[in-house]
Homo-oligomer: A and B are copies of this chain.
Amino acid sequence: MTEPLAPPVRPPLAELDPELTWSDVAGTRVGVTSAGMYGRPRDDVTVLVAPGTAAALTTRSSAASAPCRWTRARVPGPCDAVVINAGNSNAATGPEGEAAVQRTAEAAARVLGTTPEAVLVCSTGVIGVPLPLDRLLPGVERAAGSLDADATRAAHAILTTDLVPKQAGARAGGLSVAGFAKGSGMIHPNMGTMLAFVATDAQVEAADLQKLLGEIADRTFNCVTVDGDTSTSDTLIVQATGKGLDARPGMPGRAELASALEAVCRELSRMIARDGEGAEHLLHVLIQGTESDAIAREAARAVCVSPLVKTAVYGRDPNWGRVVGALGKAGVAGLDVLDLDFAGVPVLRAGRPLDFDEAAASAALAQPEVTIHARLPGPGLGEAWGCDLTPGYVSINADYRS
């Protein structure tokens, strides 16, 4: 009886606090309203006020939306507020799209008593359709004018085809980090988006926060794949109010900020994968080995995005050959000595297939979270999170206009 592979040993992250939300962070306020972006009353405009500094990451798509380009041009740096609308991504909308972002930031700044440059903008929804400013701008003014909402309401207001809101918070030392996110693959009705908003009371400089965020996102949000596609609008924004612990490099709060920020980003990433369009399983791929963490992460993503691996998980089929195929496609070296566990069941050791109990493996695949764990020569360590590919994914993306 072959033993399953031992998990890698890593320093623990800050513990999650299920009670802690974005609006519990000192120095934050939230406004939410309905601007009728969906042609019916539902919360669809959110204003997140957290005066301080901000860092952000936006999509790497060369078709990045106008709001992504606006945000990219202003971070890292000082930031007072973020305006978010669901229902229209303002992508592929030409020069008119640029002007619409400017007017959105101006409307919020006017009400909040700040400058448009201190306002970041995020949009999600249909692409290639002009933003209905006649509806949006009054909504932005209403939301900015009554900052009486909380993060839970905001976490609902940014959703599109997501089934559930996604929030996570963590405390470390005397310091708080909390956030919420949306995203479940590419989203009705056209292009989709991953949006995530995190607040912390830490004292941290914008450029430094940007660097830390980039490192953490590479291990968390950048390791989530639902369908391998990249949105025109993906945006992750962290706002730091500086009301709490000093977390500048070398200061006591530094380790706490890193630990809590990674814990929150990791949990939100897992929630996005679990809520993937049509998903019935959270797929977690762990690669120990390869030359570097970056190569191991790339390999983990390659397994996570493979339609054959994803359909095997949906079919509860311990079809490990497809994992080898995906690793091979990714050009991973050393597969002749690969160790592999599929849903906790050892299936391959030193490149040689093991006899294993198909029924037990299939039962293990019935669990809501399925881990594929590969071990190869080398010091690298990488993870990715995704979901299975189901008939639900196809119908969500093919049938929604019917």
Contacts and interface: CB of A to CB of B under 8 A. Distances in A.
Contacts of A399: 315
A329 B230 contact: yes
Secondary structure call for the A interface: loop
A325 B401 contact: no
A138 interface: no
A335 B62 contact: yes
The copy count of this chain in the complex is: 2
Contacts of A353: 92-93, 128-129
A391 interface: yes
A190 B315 contact: no
Interface in A111-148: 126-129
Contact of A325 (B232, B324, B402): B232
Given A129-B353, A229-B329, A394-B389, A63 B311 contact: no
B351 A94 contact: yes
Contacts of A232: 324-325, 328
A102 interface: no
A315 B402 CA distance: 9
B321 A92 contact: yes
A107 interface: no
Contact of A327 (B63, B64, B228): B63
A231 interface: yes
Given A308-B229, A331-B62, A353-B128, A325 B397 contact: no
A66 to B, nearest CB: 11
B311 A394 contact: yes
A59 B331 CA distance: 11
A150 to B, nearest CB: 33
Contacts of A315: 397-402
A197 to B, nearest CB: 22
A228 B230 contact: no
Contact of A397 (B231, B305, B312): B312
A306 interface: yes
Contacts of A64: 328
Contacts of A305: 228
A70 interface: no
A326 interface: yes
Nearest to A60: B331
A336 B307 CA distance: 31
> Which of A230, A325, A390 gathers the greatest number of chain B CB atoms within 10 Å?
A325
A394 B394 contact: yes
9 contacts: A62-B328, A62-B335, A63-B335, A127-B324, A190-B321, A228-B307, A230-B328, A307-B307, A393-B394
